[in-house]
Structure 1
Amino acid sequence: MRPGHDFIGVGVGAMVFDERGRVFLAKRGPEARNERGLWEFPGGMVDFGETLTAAIRREFAEEYGMTIEVERLIGVSDHILPGERQHWVSPSFTARHVGGIPEIREPEKCVEIGWFELDALPAQERLTKASRDTLAAYTPMG
C-alpha cells in the first residue's frame, strides 16, 4: 500500500523565508515521488503519529540541513494529480530559516535549490500544484 496511490496521502510543505525576505525553493529530481522537474516550496510526507509541524521541521533538516521555525498555516491544497494517479492533502505553512547552510542531501529527489524574491519566482507552470496553491493562498503578515 502506497500513500497517495492506494489511499490519500498527507504531505506538508513550507514557504521558508530568510532574513532578507527571500523564499527557499527546491527543484524536484528524477526520483521524486511526483511532479519531477518542477520547483516547490519543499516538504514531505507526514509519518504516522507525527504532527504537521514536526514533519516539516524533520523534512527540512533531513533533506537540506536546515533548522526552521514554523510560524503559521497558509492553507491546504487538494493535491490531486490525475496524470500521475496520485491524491494528496497538503497543508502549507510559513516558516523562518534559523540555522544551517542549505545543501542538497538527497540528490536523486532534488537537483537544485535557491533563495528567491517573491516577485522573481519561476513561472507558474514550473511550480508544483501544491506550491501554486500555497502561493495563491499566501498573504504576508502586516
Structure 2
Amino acid sequence: MGKTTRIGCGAAIIENGKILLLQRRRAPEAGHWGMPGGKVDWMEPIEHAVRREILEEVGLALKEIALVGIVDQIDQSENEHWIAPVYTASAFTGVARLLEPEKHSEMGWFDLRNLPAPLTLATKGILPALLGA
C-alpha cells in the first residue's frame, strides 16, 4: 500500500472491571493482544463501523457507546499509519465468542490493571484514558 493514512476503529468493551481482548494471528502485531475493531469502510460512519466490526469479530451487539479517545498509530517498521477512534462500550447484548479464528487465536476478559503482553499499539495508546490517567 502506498503512503496513505488509514482509518480504523475499536471498542474497549468493559464488563465488571474487565476488558475484552483478542490475540492477533496476522501481521502487523501478530501475537499481540488488542481490542476488537477494524477498518472503517468508504463512506461508512465511524459509529456504524465500530458496531459492525464488534458484531463480526465477537458477536456482541453494542448498545451504548461513547468516544474515549483517538489513537494515532504510526508504525514505521511496517510503513503504516492508522488513525483509530476508540469507543467504550458499557452496554451490549450477546455472549462474546471468537468468530474469526483465521484472524485471532485467543480471546479473554482481563483486569484493566493486569493485562496480557504484548499489547497492540492501539491498546497501549488508549490505556491511560481507560484508567483515568
Please say whether Structure 1 and Structure 2 have the same fold, judged by a TM-score greater than 0.5. yes
1:32-87 per-residue CA deviation (whole Å, 9 max, x = no partner) reads 5x211100011100011111111111001111111123422111111111111111
- Distance apart, 1:108 and its partner CA: 1.6
The letter for the 2-side match of 1:65 is G
Gaps of 5+ in 2: none
Amino acid at match of 1:28: R
The structural deviation recorded for 1:121 is 1.1
- Counterpart of 1:134 in structure 2 is 126
Structure 1 unaligned segments of length 5 or more: list them.
none
Match of 1:13 among 10, 13, 16: 10
Secondary structure at 1:132 match in 2: helix
Q: What TM-score comes out, normalization by structure 1 length?
A: 0.85
What SS is found at the alignment partner of 1:138? helix
Distance 2:76 2:48 in 1: 29
1:1-142 correspondence to structure 2 within 5 Å: 2=1, 5-18=2-15, 20-30=16-26, 32=27, 34-123=28-117, 126-139=118-131
Q: SS at 1:94's partner residue?
A: strand
**CA distance in structure 1 between the aligned counterparts of 2:90 and 2:130, rounded to whole angstroms:** 15
Structure 1 residues 42 and 115: CA distance shift in structure 2, 3 A:
same
For the 8 Å contact 2:34–2:120, the answer to whether it is kept is: yes
Tell me, yes or no, if the aligned pair for 1:29 and 1:108 is still in contact at 8 Å: yes
TM value normalised by structure 2 = 0.90
Whichever structure has more strand as a proportion of its residues is 2
Q: Distance in 2 between matches of 1:98 and 1:71?
A: 9
2:11–2:87: 8 Å Cα contact kept in structure 1?
yes
Kept after mapping to 2: 8 A contact 1:24/1:41: yes
1:70/1:93 contact within 8 Å kept: no
CA deviation string 1:65-123 (max 9, x = no partner): 11123422111111111111111111111112522221211112111001111122124
- How many angstroms does 1:139 deviate by? 4.6
RMSD: 1.6
